[in-house]
Amino acid sequence: MYGCVLEGWEKMTDTHVAPPKKAAAAPQPDEPKNTALARAALLLLRGRTLVVLVLLIIIFSSISSEYLTQSNLILMTKHVAINAILAIGVTFVILTGGIDLSVGSIAGLASMVAGGLLFKGFDMPGGTVFFSVAVVILIGIVVGALVGAVNGVLITRFKVAPFIATLGMLYVARGAAQLHSDGGTYPDLAGTEARGNTGFGFIGVDSILGIPVAVWIMVVVAAAAIIVTTKTPFGKRIFAVGGNERAAVLSGIRVNRIKIAVYVISGACAALAGLLLTSELGAAYPDTATTYELNAIAAAVLGGTALAGGRGTIIGTVMGAFVIGFLSDGLVLVGVSTFWQSVVKGAVIVFAVITEQAQQRLQSNLTKRTA
């Protein structure tokens, strides 16, 4: 959301520094109060995820002294990490105007593939082979990316609507996860020295400098995603495809490639999230991350990503994941019942969409005024 706020400033200053001679329509310094007020409201709306997050922290820390402790903040951030990584992947897809409902299932499938490789190895004609943890993680992510690629091909080559294609994949990938172990759980992923596959706990359990590895991974993924979306031609093309696909085609952008790429990214992120969850749990079960796709989409929407595509930020999505995570954990911490947790979460998401629309309205009004 900082990105959004800064962008807002940039736009505002851009408008202000426009030399008056350039256009008679340029705003004059004696700008009336209501416009200034509207601008302030817009700024507040743009930063609403941050505002909500701060409010949550204030409310919960006033109820429980444990909420704002360092260890709880670290723990909550760790819980956020999994949803944030899923949501970052989904944001790429939503920016192109698509949707990915299969991320929860992909996380489950990657979890089972990795769990199987660690627990019972890989059966080859010459005998069972055990891969090192690094290779297992890599294979898990590749599996997620491949499933994402299938989504992308279905959508671009076979013209299946993204909602339908990924809904189908939601079932297929979950089924594949269940088939992988015939429905069972891989209970022990610690590995053995003899097989050379110990250390899977590193990504989900261990910490570096007091910060969980999962949080570091989230930071790296988010940083990479921010750079990709804002600083690379690929990123700009994602926004262009979502903003106006026909204009993107005419600009020589290979729209189908971009689309396949975002589903691959989404699949890989989902797989990574599934692996983190599995590592932390020390066990892989086929229902891992069931319905997590909804949390991920909610985080993206909460963070200001427009479902129509073309508009949104990674930072916003991460903030959205923080709001959802800090809210859920806070409700558990103060002992609110499960039913109320659902009600509150749903209400916050709908509220976010309402404010998103208020922001759009205000923004277009202001744009008209300056035009």
CB-wise, 150 or 272, nearer to other proteins? 272
CB of 126 to other proteins, least distance (A): 30
**Hey, what are 296's tokens?**
């991920």
> What part of residues 250-269 is at the interface with other proteins (CB under 8 A)?
250-254
Would you count residue 307 as binding other proteins (CB under 8 A)? no
Q: Of residues 184, 192, 196, 343, which one binds other proteins by CB under 8 A?
A: 184
Taking CA atoms, 209 is separated from 74, 212, 213, 215, 303, in Å, by: 12, 8, 9, 11, 29
Taking CA atoms, 365 is separated from 124, 216, 370, in Å, by: 65, 41, 9
Cα angle 313, 315, 319; round to 5? 120
Taking CA atoms, 244 is separated from 241, 248, 250, in Å, by: 6, 6, 10
Nearest CA to 222 among 82, 46, 50, 98? 82
Would you count residue 123 as binding other proteins (CB under 8 A)? no
Q: Of residues 126, 159, 337, 350, which one binds other proteins by CB under 8 A?
A: 337
Q: Of residues 54, 163, 208, 236, which one binds other proteins by CB under 8 A?
A: 236
Nearest CA to 217 among 77, 365, 366? 77
User: What is the C-alpha separation between 66 and 71, in angstroms, rounded?
Assistant: 9
Would you count residue 346 as binding other proteins (CB under 8 A)? no
Query: Under 8 Å CB-to-CB from 47, ≥6 apart: which residues?
Result: 1, 4, 5
User: What is the C-alpha separation between 108 and 114, in angstroms, rounded?
Assistant: 10
User: What is the C-alpha separation between 140 and 166, in angstroms, rounded?
Assistant: 19
Instruction: Find the part of the chain contacting other proteins (CB under 8 A) among 157-165, 260-268, 303-311, 348-356.
Output: 303-311
What is the phi/psi pair of residue 212, to 5°? -55, 145
Would you count residue 185 as binding other proteins (CB under 8 A)? yes
User: What is the C-alpha separation between 87 and 353, in angstroms, rounded?
Assistant: 16
Q: Of residues 52, 56, 258, 289, which one binds other proteins by CB under 8 A?
A: 289
Dump strand ranges (E) for the chain: 122-124, 127-129, 207-208, 211-212
Q: Of residues 5, 43, 64, 362, which one binds other proteins by CB under 8 A?
A: 64
What is the phi/psi pair of residue 129, to 5°? -110, 140
> What part of residues 1-30 is at the interface with other proteins (CB under 8 A)?
10-11, 14-15, 17-18, 22-30
Would you count residue 287 as binding other proteins (CB under 8 A)? yes
Q: Sort residue 335 into left (φ over 0), alpha (ψ -120 to 50) or beta.
A: left
Query: Do 49 and 302 form a contact (C-beta atoms < 8 A)?
Result: yes
Instruction: Find the part of the chain contacting other proteins (CB under 8 A) among 48-56, 262-270, 294-302, 325-333.
Output: 325-333
Q: Of residues 231, 346, 351, 357, which one binds other proteins by CB under 8 A?
A: 231
Q: Of residues 61, 198, 244, 256, which one binds other proteins by CB under 8 A?
A: 244
Instruction: Find the part of the chain contacting other proteins (CB under 8 A) among 86-94, 114-122, 141-149, 334-342.
Output: 334-342
CB of 231 to other proteins, least distance (A): 4
CB-wise, 188 or 351, nearer to other proteins? 188
Q: Of residues 329, 349, 355, 359, which one binds other proteins by CB under 8 A?
A: 329
Would you count residue 368 as binding other proteins (CB under 8 A)? yes
Instruction: Find the part of the chain contacting other proteins (CB under 8 A) among 157-165, 225-233, 264-272, 315-323.
Output: 225-233
CB of 125 to other proteins, least distance (A): 30
Would you count residue 32 as binding other proteins (CB under 8 A)? yes
